[in-house]
Amino acid sequence: MIEYAFYTTEPLDFPLSENIIVINDSNTPTIISNSKETNPIVYAPEINFYINSSKAHILEKIDVINKLYEIRGIKLDYAKFNEYKKEVKNRLLIIGNKEEAENFDDLKEFDKYYSLPEWIKDISGTIGNLKFTIQKGNESIDLEVDQAIWFNAPEIAFKQRGIVDPSDIGVEKAKQIIRKRVGIYEYRNYVTYNKDVCQYHHRVLKETCGNCANVCPTNAIIKDDETKELVFSHIDCDGCGGCVSVCPSGALDFSAIPRDSFYEISKIFSGFIPFIVPEDMVENLEIELPKNVIPFVIEGRKFLDEVHLLTLFQDSGAQIVFLNDNFSKGEKEAVKLINEISNRKFGKNAVLFTDNSEEAEILLYEAEKIPEAKYMINENNLNKREIFSIRLSHLIENDDLGVIDLSDNNFIHYGKVEIDENKCTLCMGCVSVCNVGALTAHDEDGTLKFDASMCTACGYCEVACAEKCLKVISDKLELNKDFFGQKTMAKDEPFYCIMCGKPFAPKKAIERIAAQLLPIFTDELKKKSIYCCPECKSKLLFNEYIERKTNGK
């Protein structure tokens, strides 16, 4: 199988890199190809688009074509999706009037059911097991089908995958879709999820997030308010990625271009103008590409956030042109923030965005390199907030660029905490619930520290504070060097383990625990364990267990 294949039946008027194999037989197995005709694992329409549209010199073209294959190779290597299958049978509900329904009389291979739109009272499930409640006069019917055709379907109908509206796409196209889906329906997960940094997961004291479920257009992510867990339905996901763009902590990632993949790809754009364009737009795009422009094709058109954009801006050292005919709310907010920061620093927008191709072509010629913005870091093993903090602090350096008010934002938030040190016992309850690393405990010097550049202003630490001495001040992003890095918020003497002598907690915290537990404990061993580090506490209790076992107690 050929890894990088360029399919053409015409002689090439310029050479390609030697690692790209030119083929004229569409039956040749390929992994990454410029043509659908070779039935590749990865179809890369941007290659033909670039060749046909770029005004670059031939030598630069050869180099960029190689980069385009390399980008696709990185995406393939780093992709984190799984493939799933589901059986779809031939049960079909047609919702419309008599004349509309008659358009589908020729679907003889289907078991068809009919309903007037006003009879539909409820809908749930997904393709393969769509469930309708139909109220016909006094009769209520629960009907399960595999798919449905619904003329002039209301918006709620499209929250379930498996419903087609012929009013939008025409009767014949609707028939094609319905027939194509019968059999084994294949789908994949478009997002990956890390519950450890999710700001909804198991937050029982107060709901602090739910952005992903709130913006999901298809009910593919649902909040279970009883368990405080997110429920994912990959079969209902349309792959837009909007949930990723609004996730404050990076708990969600886009599986086709995960964050580590995006980082590796961004490095390829060093010295070039990145032109972000959704994959399903590029094939029919007819615009001229100035030299020094490389298209960055993205699957899913709504997943980019402020970290993606800042990474690409700094790695390329150039303004980004972003064409999208359907920006997500998260992307709009991210672009606004990055441009505000860039304007304060460089007097120019970092991201030039538009929803139409004619304006995109103009912007591509206006886009400039900003060499002073260039900055590359190793993002491996860093979370979303860490990456943005490191990159933003470098951009600001020693400048004071003022304060950005984020109070009108829906998704991007920052916060600072105020702690009454006199009341704080350093119990570290706030630290235990901060899953982005903004609040941290330091046993080595008995301090509680806070990094404002990591804080999402979720406010859960405020709720969890046992002493009610912590307050979150939200939505002031300060663009000065003092905003970044850990600051000591409270301090105490370290308490040393009475067995091994290792410091393991602040003295105030141990005193507080002792005050609460000593009156309760009657066992001297348990009383002693209060003053032991976790390792020694385990040894103490284990030795006591062995002793009791040995003595037959």
Under 8 Å CB-to-CB from 163, ≥6 apart: which residues?
130, 147, 148, 149, 150, 153, 157
Confidence of residue 548 (pLDDT cuts 50, 70, 90): confident
Three-state secondary-structure class, residue 408: coil
**How much is the pLDDT for 96?**
94
Specify which of 13-17, 88-92, 162-166, 425-429 reaches the highest per-range mean pLDDT. Answer: 88-92
pLDDT digits (tens, 9 = 90+) for 33-58: 999 999 999 999 999 999 999 999 99
For 61-75, 218-232, 307-321, which range has the lowest pLDDT when averaged over its residues?
Answer: 218-232
| Rounded distance between C-alpha atoms, residue 345 and residue 256, angstroms | 33
Task: Kindly give, in sequence order, each residue whose CB lies less than 8 Å from that of residue 296, ignoring residues fewer than 6 positions away.
Answer: 71, 265, 269, 274, 275, 276, 277, 312
Q: Does the pLDDT of residue 64 top 60, yes or no? A: yes
The whole-number pLDDT of residue 334 equals 98
Amino acid letter at 204? V
**pLDDT computed for residue 244 by the predictor:** 97
The rounded mean pLDDT for the chain is 93
Q: Where are the alpha helices (DSSP H) in 30-57?
A: 45-53
Q: Report H helices in 400-520.
A: 429-433, 460-464, 507-517
Rounded average pLDDT over 192-203: 96
- Between 102-111, 413-422, 464-473, 515-524, the lowest mean confidence (pLDDT) is in 515-524
φ, ψ of residue 323 to 5 degrees: the values are -105, 125
pLDDT digits (tens, 9 = 90+) for 318-349: 999 999 998 999 999 999 999 999 999 999 99
CA atoms within 13 A on the CB side of 472: 23
User: Percentage of the chain surpassing pLDDT 70?
Assistant: 100
Q: Above pLDDT 90, what percent of the chain?
A: 77
Which pLDDT tens digit goes with each residue over 408-465? 999 999 999 999 998 998 888 999 999 999 999 987 788 999 999 999 999 999 999 9
Q: How confident is the model at residue 553 (pLDDT cuts 50, 70, 90)?
A: low
